[in-house]
């Protein structure tokens, strides 16, 4: 069996945010993902990580992420090990350590480093106390102490594997992304949701030189750091980045639309002293008309509909769009999670 050159190309590195990599390096990952997708479809074996172990710590639930990592690691000849934090001693940040009651992230990361080849973590929302940035800090703490690559399976700031899967799906349908209008829009949902997906979407699409429009009602601003990075990307990679407060205006002439719920941040720390779930829900309730319907898609340039999943039916999007819209990429994005994750594991894991 011939081992492709990309196997081990980024050996030992962490994968926490797409912004940590240039467009050229992201393209290398996507090319590897395309190769693995082709081989998966033709049932060509890809045992590039024999005997390797991935530890997956899920502080939150998952359908796509857990199952695509587990299946992907098996297809690469290795094993993915599922861990819920309560089955460990709840890996904890230094400032929250209760003597004799918990185990520090620094210890957990170093112990797991002796057993396997990468640690993947998902943490946002309640386990991160709905404090924006806290989930990301947990993953950074793992990366600081881990002696093997740390992979971000979604925190409260970024969802980098979703961004990779989405840009793979986008370039499969439109090989030249530069100059295409990509809309990342707020969509209504009743519950609190992290900023990770919209932030990672504006980052990856500006990194590919697209004309990116971020649409949301007032009060749903993304973090300043993500906005600055998206603006910098647009300048560096020759695209544009604009923010509007009108969903319909944003959809006009769009080539891709990505309508997705996230939370109004003035109701959660550090932008608020406490977590006000009721206040957030009442505020979100004012924007129930931010829903994707066939009529709204009619004003686009035959846009591809995108969503990371799970989409809230009847809130973010109608059944008709999810089940019948021909230019939906919803299931391609879900499938591509498998291929991009296999690419990163094959390239990054020692
Ligand atoms: N998009 C995504 O991460 O899906 P899961 O929450 O099902 O893993």
Q: Is the CB of 309 under 6 A from ligand 1?
A: yes
Q: What whole-number distance in Å separates Cα of residue 315 and Cα of residue 62?
A: 20
Topology agreement, domain 18-157+337-348 and domain 162-334:
yes
Question: HSE on the CB side for 51, CA within 13 Å?
Answer: 1
Q: What whole-number distance in Å separates Cα of residue 120 and Cα of residue 236?
A: 30
Distance of CA 245 to the CA centre of its chain: 23
**13-43 pLDDT tens trace:** 999 999 999 999 999 999 999 999 999 999 9
Please tell me the pTM assigned to this model. Answer: 0.97
Collapsing DSSP to helix, strand or coil, 269 comes out as: coil
CATH number for the segment(s) 18-157+337-348: 3.40.50.1370
Which residues, 6+ apart, have CB-to-CB distance to 22 below 8 Å?
none
CATH 3.40.1360.10, applies to 162-334: no
Q: Indicate if the pLDDT at residue 85 is higher than 90.
A: no
Which residues, 6+ apart, have CB-to-CB distance to 278 below 8 Å?
none
**111-130 pLDDT tens trace:** 999 999 999 999 999 999 99
- Cα-to-centroid distance, 138 and ligand 1 (Å): 19
**308, 338, 341: which to mutate for ligand 1, most atoms within 8 A of CB?**
308
Instruction: Domain ranges for the chain, please list them.
Output: 18-157+337-348, 162-334
- Residue 302's region, left for phi above 0, alpha for psi from -120 to 50, else beta, is left
- Percent residues over pLDDT 90 in the chain: 93
- Cα-to-centroid distance, 162 and ligand 1 (Å): 8
Secondary structure in 3-state letters for 96-156: HCCCCCCCEHHHHHHHHHCCCCEEEEECCCHHHCCCCCHHHHHHHHHHHHCCCCEEECCCC
Measure the CA dihedral 123/129/134/137, to 10°.
-50
The confidence score (pLDDT) of residue 94 equals: 86
């Amino acid at each position: 069996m011939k081992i492709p050159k990309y196997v081990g190309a980024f050996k030992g590195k962490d994968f926490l945010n797409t912004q940590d990599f240039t467009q050229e390096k992201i393209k290398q990952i996507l090319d590897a993902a395309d190769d693995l997708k082709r081989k998966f479809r033709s049932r060509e074996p890809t045992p590039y990580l024999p005997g390797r172990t991935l530890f997956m710590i899920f502080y939150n639930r998952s359908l796509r992420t857990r199952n695509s990592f587990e299946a992907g690691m098996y297809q690469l000849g290795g094993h993915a090990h599922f861990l819920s934090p309560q089955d460990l001693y709840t890996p904890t940040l230094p400032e929250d350590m209760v003597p004799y009651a918990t185990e520090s992230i620094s210890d957990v990361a170093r112990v797991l480093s002796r057993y396997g080849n990468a640690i993947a973590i998902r943490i946002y929302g309640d386990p991160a106390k709905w404090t924006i940035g806290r989930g990301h800090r947990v993953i950074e703490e793992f990366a600081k102490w881990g002696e093997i690559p740390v992979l971000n399976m979604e925190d409260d700031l970024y969802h980098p594997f979703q961004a990779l899967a989405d840009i793979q799906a986008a370039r499969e349908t439109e090989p030249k992304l530069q100059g295409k209008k990509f809309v990342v829009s707020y969509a209504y949902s009743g519950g609190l949701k992290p900023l990770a997906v919209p932030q990672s979407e504006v980052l990856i699409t500006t990194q590919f030189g697209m004309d990116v429009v971020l649409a949301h009602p007032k009060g749903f601003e993304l973090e300043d750091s993500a906005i600055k990075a998206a603006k910098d990307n647009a300048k560096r990679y020759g695209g544009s980045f604009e923010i509007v407060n009108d969903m319909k205006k944003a959809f006009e002439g769009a080539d891709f639309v990505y309508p997705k719920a996230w939370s109004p941040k003035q109701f959660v720390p550090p932008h608020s002293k406490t977590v006000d779930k009721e206040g957030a829900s009442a505020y979100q309730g004012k924007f129930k008309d931010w829903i994707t319907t066939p009529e709204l898609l009619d004003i686009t340039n035959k846009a591809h509909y995108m969503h990371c999943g799970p989409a809230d039916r009847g809130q973010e999007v109608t059944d008709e769009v999810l089940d019948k819209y021909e230019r939906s990429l919803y299931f391609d994005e879900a499938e591509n999670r498998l291929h991009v994750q296999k690419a990163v594991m094959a390239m990054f894991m020692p």
